[in-house]
Structure 1
Amino acid sequence: MEWLNADEKEAWTGLISMVLLLPGRLEAPLQQESGLSLFDYLVLSHVSEAPDRRIRMSELAHLANGSLSRLSNVVKRFEQRGWVVRFPDPDDGRYTIASLTDEGYEVVAAAAPTHLRTVRQFVLDPLTAADRQALTRIAAKLSVTIPPP
């Protein structure tokens, strides 16, 4: 087994620290100001950005980086609050569509400024334009980007 050299260890430690700590930094203000977890916000946001605010649950699970069962539990809670409705895909009944209601859109729109503020504060503002380009390249190389539809 080959141990990490100093440069590799520094890169790995930086990455894993970011992966473990950043979600909490992004989630805390959302939770405090909107009562949403980061996953909740990502789910609502992705549905809000889909054409006609409708998206297949399987695609939504991929975009939100969650399992279909986790997503189903969250969407069920959103249905109970009147934020989302689900129905069979009229083009292929094997799939289920999640559709954002006007009330759900209001929730995500109200939470968006908090999310954007924390993303800028903890991710974008500390980076230069070159850093952001490097981060984009690194994410692509590590296959952690969402492929285009």
Structure 2
Amino acid sequence: MPPEPLTSDEEAVMRALGRMMVVLPRRLDADLTRDERMSLSEYSALRHLSEAPGHRMRMSALAGACDMSLSGMTRLAGKLESLGQLERVRCEQDARGLEAVLTDKGLARLREAWPTHLRSVRRHVFDHLAELDLHTLAAALGKMGSGC
């Protein structure tokens, strides 16, 4: 039996989601780049490290959290390390692996960029969701993101 076609409302949602997945990261990145001279990838890496126990994560876990390849994360970590915002150290449990560790300078830089990012998120996301039940929306997006 063939699948049921999408309704016009379902088709509109799919097209809007597809467009949003392309446009939103670009807009958030553009705001951070313009106002903070920081990419969204840099901000994301610093944010994930700031939320991790001991402000440290295995490089592979940080790459996954930032939805980056390990080689891309290695390049990004090199840049952040050159800026003094993170350090790469050998894992205590597995000397073959590396961990990224957020420095005090990196945490300060994240805190400095946070207001710009917050304004950008409000303008590009939440200003458009005033009439929606955010709890229900978050649950639905969470399910989509986890593959359920």
Structure 2 length as normaliser, TM-score? 0.87
**Whole-Å Cα distance in 2 between the matches of residues 112 and 26 of structure 1?**
12
Percent of paired sites with the same residue: 37
Partner SS state of residue 21, structure 2: helix
Which residue among 91, 97, 100 is the counterpart of 1:98? 100
Kindly report the root-mean-square deviation, in angstroms, between the aligned alpha carbons of the 2 structures.
2.0
CA deviation digits over 1:21-58, x for unaligned, max 9? Answer: 11122111100111111111100111122122111111
Which residue among 40, 43, 46 is the counterpart of 1:41? 43
Q: Report the equivalent of 2:123.
A: 121
Q: Report the equivalent of 2:21.
A: 19
Q: Report the equivalent of 2:91.
A: 89
CA deviation digits over 1:84-134, x for unaligned, max 9? Answer: 110111122232110111111111111011111111222123324743223
Partner SS state of residue 68, structure 2: coil
User: Which consecutive unaligned segments of at least 5 residues does structure 2 have?
Assistant: none
1:65 shift after superposition: 1.3
Q: Report the equivalent of 1:137.
A: 139
Q: Return the letter of the residue paired with 2:24.
A: L
Number of residue pairs aligned between Structure 1 and Structure 2: 145
Say if 1:124 and 1:132, in contact at 8 Å, map to a contact too. Answer: no
**Whole-Å Cα distance in 1 between the matches of residues 31 and 141 of structure 2?**
25
Q: Report the equivalent of 2:56.
A: 54
1:142 shift after superposition: 1.3
**Whole-Å Cα distance in 2 between the matches of residues 21 and 135 of structure 1?**
19
Which is further off, 69-78 or 130-139? 130-139
**Whole-Å Cα distance in 1 between the matches of residues 43 and 131 of structure 2?**
26
Q: Return the letter of the residue paired with 1:51.
A: P
**Whole-Å Cα distance in 1 between the matches of residues 48 and 95 of structure 2?**
22
